[in-house]
């Protein structure tokens, strides 16, 4: 009973103390007023001014390409057979006449001996008819000799075709992954050789960047930079001049590809197949024009305008745009040299 009374007394004193603190805090403010929030002085933005002047503006393509062969010679076997030896791989240099692959001889040695014997027998039969009055028999004997000779010639040609030799000197850009014992199909290309003295640069853009090469035409000059050296070149092929193809994948690549040909082949050893190249093509250029950074020209509801500073007063001036690049815009009307344009907000 005593504990209950003591607890109630303590709670009452606590409430009284809290009420007195609250009343004391309220008494610090004037009657009828509340505390105002602290105000922060606004930051004044200093206009960034640009003096209008004249200069050159150029629409250009800056892209990355790869050095590729100008011409490629594809090499097939002309006979069937199985691989006996492989002496080449992609990326190596070959000289004209080098043996790159060789086919197994198989039964060729026996076939040659048998065919030489058949030819000799036919020739002997013809000789035994010498002076025979039967012209038809002689004609058939002559024909038999010719047939056996053709058979021998065919076997000899096969023997000459067993080694696949390089038809020209160059760099092997492609080689089938063939090994000993693999069968080959006649006239199927298994190897490609490129002339290292004839190179070009290939640029292939992504589908979303096709507009970047839409205004590039054949014959436009280009600067090609490889390993710190810059070479003069020209556009040799665009999507609109690419050869037609029945292959859908090839058509897609051609629609996004430019080929750039050097004016004269670089002697620099750094310029080789597969090396990267930075390419710059100026598709359009205007000189002595009024131009501004694109960020300085604003648009609203089909209207183009800029803000100028005139006697310390900010004014809006309508302008007409001309040629535009990724960073600059030509102003054909509305501004003149010497005016101060505000390029920030």
Domain range summary for the chain, segments of one domain joined by +? 49-61+286-342, 62-70+196-283, 71-104+162-195, 105-160
Write phi, then psi, for 104 (nearest 5 degrees).
-70, 145
The Cα 148–Cα 143 span in angstroms is: 9
The Cα 312–Cα 345 span in angstroms is: 15
The Cα 153–Cα 321 span in angstroms is: 77
Enter the tokens of residue 287.
């000189």
Q: Where does 62-70+196-283 sit in CATH, by number?
A: 2.40.30.170
Beta bridge partners of 58: 285
pLDDT tens digits in sequence order for the chain, 345 residues long: 444 444 444 444 444 444 444 444 444 445 555 566 676 666 556 778 888 889 999 888 999 999 999 989 999 999 999 999 999 998 899 999 999 999 999 999 999 999 999 999 999 998 888 766 678 888 899 999 999 999 999 999 999 999 999 999 999 999 999 999 999 999 999 999 998 888 999 999 999 889 889 889 999 999 999 988 999 999 999 999 998 889 899 999 999 999 999 999 888 777 888 899 999 999 888 999 998 998 889 988 888 988 888 888 888 889 999 888 888 999 999 898 888 888 876
The Cα 184–Cα 309 span in angstroms is: 79
CA atoms lying within 13 Å on the CB side of residue 196: 18
Specify whether the CB–CB gap between 343 and 295 falls below 8 A. yes
Nearest to 275 by CA among 190, 176, 169, 171: 171
pTM of the model: 0.64
| Domain 49-61+286-342: which CATH number of 3.40.640.10, 3.40.50.1390, 3.30.360.10, 2.40.420.20 | 2.40.420.20
Specify whether the CB–CB gap between 141 and 126 falls below 8 A. yes
CB-CB neighbours of 301 under 10 Å: 4
What is the SS3 assignment for 156?
helix
Q: Which CATH class is domain 71-104+162-195?
A: mainly beta
């Amino acid at each position: 009973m005593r504990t209950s009374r003591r607890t109630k007394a303590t709670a009452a004193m606590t409430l009284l103390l809290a009420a007195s603190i609250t009343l004391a805090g309220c008494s610090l403010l004037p009657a009828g007023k509340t505390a105002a929030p602290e105000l922060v002085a606004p930051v004044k933005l200093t206009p960034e001014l640009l003096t209008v002047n004249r200069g050159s503006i150029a629409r250009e393509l800056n892209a990355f390409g790869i050095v590729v062969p100008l011409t490629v010679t594809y090499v097939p076997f002309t006979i069937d057979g199985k691989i006996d030896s492989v002496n080449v791989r992609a990326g190596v240099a070959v000289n004209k006449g080098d043996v790159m692959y060789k086919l197994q001889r198989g039964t060729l040695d026996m076939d040659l001996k048998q065919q030489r014997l058949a030819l000799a027998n036919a020739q002997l039969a013809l000789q035994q008819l010498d002076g025979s009055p039967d012209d038809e028999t002689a004609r058939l004997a002559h024909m038999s000799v010719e047939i056996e000779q053709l058979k021998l010639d065919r076997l000899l040609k096969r023997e000459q075709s067993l080694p696949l030799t390089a038809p020209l000197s160059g760099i092997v850009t492609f080689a089938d992954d063939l090994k000993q014992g693999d069968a080959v199909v006649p006239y199927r290309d298994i190897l490609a050789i490129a002339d290292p003295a004839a190179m070009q640069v290939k640029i292939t853009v992504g589908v979303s960047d096709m507009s970047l090469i839409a205004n590039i035409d054949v014959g436009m000059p280009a600067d090609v930079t490889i390993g710190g050296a810059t070479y003069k070149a020209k556009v040799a092929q665009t999507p609109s001049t690419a050869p037609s193809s029945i292959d859908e994948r090839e058509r897609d690549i051609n629609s996004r590809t430019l080929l750039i040909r050097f004016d004269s082949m670089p002697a620099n050893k750094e310029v080789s197949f597969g090396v990267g190249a930075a390419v710059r093509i100026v598709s359009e250029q205007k000189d002595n024009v009024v131009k501004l950074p694109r960020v300085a020209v604003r648009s609203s509801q089909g209207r183009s305008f800029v803000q100028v500073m005139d006697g310390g007063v900010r004014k809006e001036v309508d302008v007409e745009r001309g040629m535009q690049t990724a960073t600059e815009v030509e102003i054909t009307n509305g501004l003149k040299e010497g005016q101060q344009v505000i390029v920030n907000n």
